[in-house]
Amino acid sequence: MGSKPTVAFRVEADTKAAWSEAVEQSDEYANLSHLIKKSVNRELHSERPTSSEAGQDTEQIGELADTVERLQGQVSDLEDAITDATRSMNADGGVSEETTTKVFSALPRGPERATDAEGIAEGLDIDADTARLALESIADTAAVERLDMEQVLDEGGTKVVEWEGNTIEIDTGAPVVKRNNPLWFRKG
C-alpha cells in the first residue's frame, strides 16, 4: 500500500474534547480521525445553491416582502373602515344629553391622566357601552381628544404619547393601558 500524505492541524483543547465526545456518543465514527475525514468529505460534497438559485431566493423574498406590505396596508384600511363604521353606529346610539354631559365632566384633563370608557363608567356608575357611546358622540369636539393605543409609544419600558409637540408619560400600571382600549381626555 502506498504512502498517504499526513495532514496535521491544531485546535483548542475544548474543541478536541467536543469532537471526542461526539465520537464516543455516535456509532458512525470509529475514531477522531474518522469523524474529521467524514465531516470534511460531507462539506466538500454537499449541495450548495448556484448563484442563479440564490438570486431566485432573493427575488422570492422580495416578492414576499411586497405581499406582506400590501396586506398590512389592506389590514390598516380595514381597521380604519371598521372604526369609522363603529363611530357612525355609536353616534346614532341615542345617549341622553345628561349622560353625555356627565361623561364629559368626568373626563380627566390632559393625556397623562387619560382613561378609557370603562374607567369613566366605573366613576359614574353607568355601563361601559353607554360611556363609550357618549365618548364617541363628543369625539369630534375641540375639547375632547381620543388616543388609540397605536399612538401610545413604548420608550424603554415607559409608555408615552406625543401630544402638541410634547412627549407625555402614560401610567403603565393603570388598568386602562392593560385593557388596550382607546384613551380619552379633555384638552386644556
Are residues 153 and 75 located together in one domain of the fold?
Answer: no
The answer to whether 111 and 147 are in contact (CB under 8 A) is yes
80 and 114, same domain (yes or no): no
131 pLDDT exceeds 80?
A: yes
Residue 53 lies inside a defined structural domain of this protein: no
Do 112 and 136 lie in a common domain?
Answer: yes
62-73: per-residue pLDDT in tens?
A: 888 888 888 888
Judgement on whether residues 170 and 100 belong to the same structural domain of the protein: yes
Shared domain check, 129 and 71: no
Query: How many distinct structural domains can be found in the chain?
Result: 3
d(CA 97, CA 141) in angstroms, rounded, equals: 15
> Could you tell me the strand order of the sheet in which 166-170 lies?
152-155, 158-163, 166-170
Q: Is residue 48 part of a domain?
A: no
Residue 181 CA to its chain's centroid (Å):
16
123 and 173 share one domain: yes
Is 179 found in the same domain as 106?
A: yes
Query: Higher pLDDT residue, 165 or 119?
Result: 119
What's the Cα-to-Cα distance from 8 to each of 36, 62, 164, 185, rounded to whole Å?
11, 45, 70, 75
The position carrying cell 464516543 is 24
pLDDT band at 77 (very low <50, low <70, confident <90, very high): confident
The arithmetic mean of pLDDT across residues 150-164, rounded, is: 58
Residue 33 sits in which domain range? 13-43
Residue 125 shares a structural domain with residue 87: no
Mean pLDDT is lowest, of 36-50, 86-100, 162-176, for 162-176
* Residue 159 within any structural domain of the chain: yes
Check residue 117 and give its pLDDT: 83
Residue 139 lies in a domain: yes
Confidence of residue 151 (pLDDT cuts 50, 70, 90): low
**Claim: this prediction has a pTM higher than 0.75:** no
